[in-house]
Amino acid sequence: MIVKQWTKEERYRVLRSAEELRELFERIIKSGYRQHYHIQSVTGLLNDPNGFVRYDGLWHLFYQWCPWGAVHGLKYWYHTVSRDLVTWQNRGVCIRPDTEYDNKGAYSGSALPMGEHLYLYYTGNHRDEDWTRRPYTCLVDLKNGKDAQKLPPLYGAHPDYTEHQRDPKVIRHPNTGKYYIILGAQTKDKKGCCIIYTSDSPTEGWRFAGQLKVPGFEDFGDMWECPSIETISGYDVLIFCPQHLKLHGRGDAVHHNGYLLGHMDWETLTFTPDNTNFHVLDFGFDAYAAECAANPDDQNKATLVAWMGLPDASYPTDEEEWSGCLTLPRELRVRDRRLIQQPLDALRALRGKKIDPESTDLLPRVCEMELICRGGDLSVTLFAKADGTGGLTVAYDDSRREITVDRSGMERRFNTELGEQRTRPLPKGLFHLRFFIDRSSVEIFVNDGDAVFSSRVFPTEGESRLRISGDASLHLWELNRAVEETFTID
Ligand code: FRU
C-alpha cells in the first residue's frame, strides 16, 4: 500500500477554513469502505471517543480528530449528536487547539452536564519550541450544547510524574458532592498509573489528591491511557488502557483496553479489585480507548463506545487518506461479577429486508446476523470467495470450549505482526452469536454479551460469500444507513 509520508509541519497544520478539506471530503466519501451505521471520521483520522453524555434530551459524542489524513497530528474534538444512539448527525468542530495550553492538540477527555452547562474536560497538549510536552487539564463550557467557551485551565502537569498525564475523566461523588478528576499517568520509573485531583467546584479550586492505589497492579504496563471509574449495579469498575504489555491470548498486541471490578474508596484513593483478573473489554483486533456514558434512567446500566482501532497501527484506508470509526454504542451491565455488553435494543430499528439464507449464499455488505446455536462445533466464514476459500472465520471448538476469530484468510491483511487470531474460552459452551457487519467492520456478540469481538475488515469485491457449518438456525437482515456523510466542519 502506498501511504503518504507526513512531515511534522503537515501533521500539526492548523485548520483555518473548512474549504481546505472539501476536496479531501469529496474524495473519501466515494470509498467503498465508508461505514453506513458507525460514527467515522468526517475527513482524516478519528481515534478516541470523548465526552459521551446525555444532556438536555440528546446524546452527545465527540471524537479525537486530525483533519488532514490518516495520521496522528493536531487533534480537535469533533462533535456528533443523536436522539436514539442509532442515527447520528455531524455537528462540526467543537474544541480547537487554539490557545498556548493546547497548542499541539485538544486531547481526550470527558463531559459533565450541570444545568445549562455542559462542561468538557480535556487534555491540552502543549509543546514548547523544543518539543517538550506539558499537559494541562483544560475546560470548555459548551453552553446549551452549542456554544463552546474556553475557561482557564484547571492545572498543569504534576512534577512527580513524566510528561504522560492525560485523559481527564470527571466524576461527581453522589454522596459527598465532591468532584474528582482521574487522569492516566506514568511514574518516573515508567509504570502506568492513575492520578487524582479533587475540588468542591467543577470549574475551579482543583488540587492534587494523590495517586490511585490499585493493589496487585503496581507494575502493569508503562502508561495507563483513558482511565475511568464507573459505578454499575453497585459495583465500581476501573476501565483503562495499559500500554506496552503482553497479555495471554492477545497475540503480540501490546496496547489493551480492559477493566477491574471492585470497590473504590475515595477517602483513601484505593481501588480494591475483586480478584486479580484484568478483564479484556473486547476480544477483537481493534478496540481501544472505551468511553462510558451514564444511563440517567437506570443506574444498573451504562453505555460504552470505543475506538475501533489501535494506537501505532495502520489500516488499508490509510492510502485513501482517512481512517477510523467507533464501535456501536453498547449497553453495559454486571452479571456474575463480570461486565456484559449487548447491542442496544434500539438498533433493531435499522433492520431492513430479511434475507432467506436458503436462497442465497451472498452476504449483504451491511447486515445483522443472528445464530441460535444448538451445540457441537460451529464454523462461520464471512467474506469467503465464490470457491469457498478465504474470508474471516469464527470457529467454536466444543471439545476445547473456545471460540476463535481468524482474519488471516482475508485478501487485505493488515497489522499482521500483532497476530491474526483471537481466542476466548467459553466454559459454558456456545449458544448464541450476533454479528453486526458494516462496510469495513464486524462486531460479534457472543452468548448474549458474555464476550464481544470488534474488528476492522476490508473485503474486496470477490469476498462476498457466507459459509456456515454446524447446527444452528440463522436469521439475516440487511441494515439501513444511520450516519450521513455531511460536510459539517465549522
Ligand atoms: C489514546 C490517546 C490518548 C490521547 C489521545 C490523543 O488513543 O493517545 O491518551 O489523549 O489518544 O489523540
Q: Using CA of residue 356, residue 361, residue 364, residue 369, what is the dihedral sign?
A: positive
Helix (H) or strand (E) holding 475: strand 465-479
Atom of ligand 1 nearest to the CA of 225: 9
In sequence order, the β-bridge partners of residue 161 are: 187
Is 236 noted as a catalytic residue in this protein?
no
The separation between the first and the last C-alpha atoms of the chain, rounded to the nearest angstrom, is 32
| Average of per-residue pLDDT across 354-381 | 96
Dist. CA 311 → ligand 1 center (Å): 8
Q: What is the pLDDT of residue 145?
A: 79
Residues 6 or more apart in contact with residue 313 via CB below 8 angstroms: 286, 414, 415, 418
Is there a contact between 126 and 135 (Cβ–Cβ < 8 Å)?
A: yes
Whole-angstrom Cα Rg for the chain: 22
Residues 6 or more apart in contact with residue 267 via CB below 8 angstroms: none
441 lines ligand 1 (CB under 6 A): no
133 lines ligand 1 (CB under 6 A): no
Helix (H) or strand (E) holding 141: strand 133-143
Is there a contact between 145 and 92 (Cβ–Cβ < 8 Å)?
A: no
Strands 44-55, 322-323: parallel, antiparallel or unpaired by DSSP?
Answer: parallel
Q: What is the pLDDT of residue 1?
A: 67
102 lines ligand 1 (CB under 6 A): no
Atom of ligand 1 nearest to the CA of 108: 10
Grid coordinates in use for 213? 492505589
Q: How far is Cα 271 from Cα 259, in angstroms, rounded to an integer?
A: 12
Q: What is the pLDDT of residue 33?
A: 98
| Average of per-residue pLDDT across 36-62 | 97
Q: What is the pLDDT of residue 144?
A: 82
- List, for residues 193-215, the tens digit of each pLDDT value: 999 999 999 999 999 999 999 99
Q: What is the pLDDT of residue 391?
A: 98
Q: Is the pLDDT of residue 181 over 80?
A: yes
Q: How far is Cα 98 from Cα 106, in angstroms, rounded to an integer?
A: 9
Q: What is the pLDDT of residue 281?
A: 98
* Three-state DSSP class for residue 277: coil
Q: In the predicted model, what is the mean pLDDT of the chain? A: 97
| Average of per-residue pLDDT across 247-262 | 95
DSSP 400: T
291 lines ligand 1 (CB under 6 A): no
Confidence band of 2 (pLDDT split at 50, 70, 90):
confident
Report which residue type is found at 490. D
Strands 147-155, 133-143: parallel, antiparallel or unpaired by DSSP?
Answer: antiparallel
CA nearest to 65, candidates 53, 73, 56, 54: 73
How far, in Å, are 233, 266, 375 from residue 180 at the CA level? 21, 9, 48
